[in-house]
Structures are given as C-alpha cells and as structure tokens.
Amino acid sequence: MHSVALVVLALSAAVSAAPQQFLQSNALTALSSGQSGVRVLNQRFDADQAGNYQYQYEQDNGQKVEEAGRVQSGSEPETGIITKQGSYEFVSDDGNTYTVTYVADEGGFQPLAAHLPQAPAQIPEYAQLRQDYPQLFWAEQGGLAAISSGTNQRSDSNNQRTFTF
C-alpha cells in the first residue's frame, strides 16, 4: 500500500516539475480573449544609426499599428528628444473598428479619434480673464523662467499695478 502511494507521489512530483511551455505573445492574447488564435499578417521594422525608426504590423483580428520615431539631438551629448507619430486600429467588443492617430513628444501623448472625448471650446469669460488679469496666466507666458528673468511686464489697468513675469 505504501509503495503505491509512493509511486503516485513520485509521479505527481515529476509532472509538476516538468518544464512549462511558453506561449507566444499573440497566442497568449488569443487564449485570453477566447479567440482560437491571432496571426500576424505582416510586420516591418526599420531603424537607422541615429535612432530614427519606423514599424508597422497587422493582425488577422483587425488590429493594425504603425509608428515612426524621429530623434532630435540636444545641445549636449546624449540629450535630445524623440518625436513619435503613429496610429493604431482595433475592432472593439461592440463590433466597431476604432482608429486612433497620435503624436507623442515633449508636449506629451496627444491622441486624436472620433470616439475620444474632445476638449471643450474656450469660453469667452476665460479670454476676458486673460486680458484683465494676465498675472493669473504666467505659465502661458513662459512659466517660472519668465518670472525670474523679469523680462515680461504687464500692468493691471484697474489698479495701476505693474506685474513682472
């Protein structure tokens, strides 16, 4: 009886210690989404010595991605910025195909798409506040650098005070 238990225990240990198979990322995505498999229809990646690149791929589930990155060198070694432009397209659970185009640079990630919310138009009261109280909008005038340099002065016409930005 003990020998049967020992054999079962040894077999259980051997099975649990067997190496696990690693799934390819697209197969893992397919399994987690309930699809039978997602195939890459085409893909491309190109890069140059300066760090500029361009890539794209398309899958049979309707997903498409393309992006180009451009490097702009800074004034010192190993400094600079990279600007990315691209788009991605996918089929949502509702059956609709959605496309997003974007730019990503020093201004952040800036997506554009018909299904994304849009920023409201500027209200007239805000424009009037900007004229009446420019000191409230110091960030738009160059931020702290403009304040510390003292080069941008404006006066408040109501109180006859001068503000230095």
Chosen domain end from 79, 100, 116: 116
Distance of alpha carbon 162 from alpha carbon 57, whole angstroms:
57
Residue given tokens 């589930």 in the structure block: 61
Write out pLDDT tens, residues 121-131.
878 888 888 88
Q: Mark whether 128 and 60 lie in a shared domain.
A: no
Q: Mark whether 98 and 152 lie in a shared domain.
A: no
In a domain, 10, yes or no: no
Q: Kindly report the number of other CB atoms within 10 A of residue 146's CB atom.
A: 16
Q: Mark whether 99 and 49 lie in a shared domain.
A: yes
| Count of structural domains within the chain | 2
Q: Integer distance in angstroms from the first to the last C-alpha of the chain?
A: 89
In a domain, 150, yes or no: yes
- The residue range of the domain holding 58 is 40-116
Task: Evaluate if pTM is beyond 0.85.
Answer: no
In a domain, 31, yes or no: no
pLDDT of residue 142: 65
In a domain, 12, yes or no: no
Contact 53, 76 (CB under 8 A): no
Output the CA–CA distances (angstroms, integers) from residue 152 to 3, 89, 126, 155, in the order listed: 90, 45, 21, 10
